[in-house]
Amino acid sequence: MSFLREIIRRPAGAFGFGWITLVVLSAIVSSFWTPQDPFTANPLDGWLRPSAAHLFGTDSIGRDIFSYVFAATRTTVIVAGLSGILASLVGIGLAALGSLTKRWVRESIAVLIDILIAFPAILIAMLLAAVFGGSLGVVIVAVGVGYGVNIARVSRGEIRRVRATDYVLAARAAGVGPGGVLLRHLLPNIAPVFVVQLSLSMATSILAEAGLSYLGYGAPANTASWGRLLNDLQLYIGVHPGSVVWPGLAITLTVLAFNLLGDAIREASDPTLRGRSGSRGRSGSRRRDGARRRSGMRDQGKTP
């Protein structure tokens, strides 16, 4: 819990955490209830301006844009969440294999990673879609593997760097076995880089889903998706520029929230940064005093 407090103490972290929580809650609520059915067309109500009944207005065939954006959070959460998990597994798995195993295994993994990086996620998705048909699963696998290898490449270098440090040598000299070194020393110390990469890949997965849906390899027609809506509305951008703003804003804010949350997690997980950045800036908050008290105690501990 104190870790969460560390994160939301920072404005960026508070926004990232707050927005993503909101998106996740919307995803849950929209599975049961939306203000109006996002798929029901009312051709007579096309292009209504925002009002109490239609917060974001309606589109060309009279669908309620707010309900659609609201319902699409579910797709976003599923795609970002699952592709994030898959990317972590692929990334950490390949990175661990690529830095901790025997030399010939390491070298082959390195080549494999380089080959996979050469395939854009979009291309992987198109290949998969050609075989299995377009679906969210295709998007998740393509983005998960596509960004997983990126994570693997960055994490592999980080694992190598941390593995060469004295504290890993000291831990091994204390009798920590290969598994313990990985879990207790390597992974926590590459976490800052990993978390930032992961938040980037989750943010990108939202964009990738939008792009793939546009190409017809992503969400099927009966699944609400910000990307699909954006592409529907973008046809009319010259006539009704206002309506494109909503899905665009949703995508932008969510991607931003992922990036900011990643940064905040990175800072919060570094004990040397803890209690610092919050104590700068505006005065008067109780949290700030708490942070100062804590660092005061620390200074006492420092003097012998």
Partner 1 sequence: MSLDVSGLTIEIDGTRVVDDLSFTVADGQRFGLIGESGSGKSLTILSLIGLAPEIATVTGSVRLDGREILGLSERQLARIRGSEIAMVFQDPLTALNPLRTIGRQIGEPLRLHGDVSKRQAMSAAVDLAGEVGLPDPAGIVALFPHQLSGGQRQRVGIAMALACRPSILLADEPTTALDVTTQAQILDLFQRLVDERGSSLVFVTHDLAVLARVATDVTVLSQGRAVERGTVSGILRSPQHAVTRGLVDAARATTWTGGAE
Pick between residue 283 and residue 303 the one whose CB is nearest to partner 1.
303
Q: Contact 57/244 with Cβ under 8 angstroms?
A: no
Taking the complex as a whole, the smallest distance from the CB of residue 168 to partner 1 amounts, in Å, to 8
CB 185 within 8 A of CB 169: no
The answer to whether 61 and 43 have CB atoms below 8 angstroms apart is yes
Q: Whose Cβ is closer to partner 1: residue 18's or residue 178's? A: 178
Give min distance, CB of 154 to partner 1, in A.
Answer: 19
Where along the sequence are the contacts to partner 1 (CB under 8 A)?
103, 165-167, 169-178, 180, 184-185, 188-189, 269-272, 298, 301-304
Beta strands in the chain (DSSP E): none
Pick from 229, 205, 196: which is nearest to 86 by CA? 205
In whole angstroms, what is the distance from residue 279 CA to residue 261 CA? 19
CB of 195 to partner 1, least distance (A): 13
Q: Which is nearer to partner 1, 165 or 285 (CB)?
A: 165
Q: Residues 14-17: contacts with CB within 8 Å, 24+ apart?
A: 15/257, 15/260, 16/256, 16/257, 16/258, 16/259, 16/260, 16/261, 16/262, 16/263, 16/264, 17/261, 17/264
Min dist. Cβ of residue 250 to partner 1 (A): 36
Q: For residue 303, which amino acid is it?
A: T
Minimum distance, C-beta of residue 192 to partner 1, in the bound complex (Å): 10
User: Across-strand partners of 64?
Assistant: 58
From the CB of 166, what's the least distance to partner 1, in Å?
A: 4
Cα distance between residue 220 and residue 65, in whole Å: 18
**Whose Cβ is closer to partner 1: residue 168's or residue 256's?**
168
Q: Would you say 107 or 270 has its CB closer to partner 1?
A: 270
Tell me whether residue 52 or residue 174 sits nearer to partner 1 (CB atom): 174
- Min dist CB 235 to partner 1, Å, is 51
**If you write DSSP's letter for every residue of 176-237 in order, what string do you get?**
--HHHIIIIIIHHHHHHHHHHHHHHHHHHHHHHHHHHHHHTSSS-TTS--HHHHHHHHHTTT
Q: With respect to partner 1, which residue has the nearer C-beta, 192 or 247? A: 192
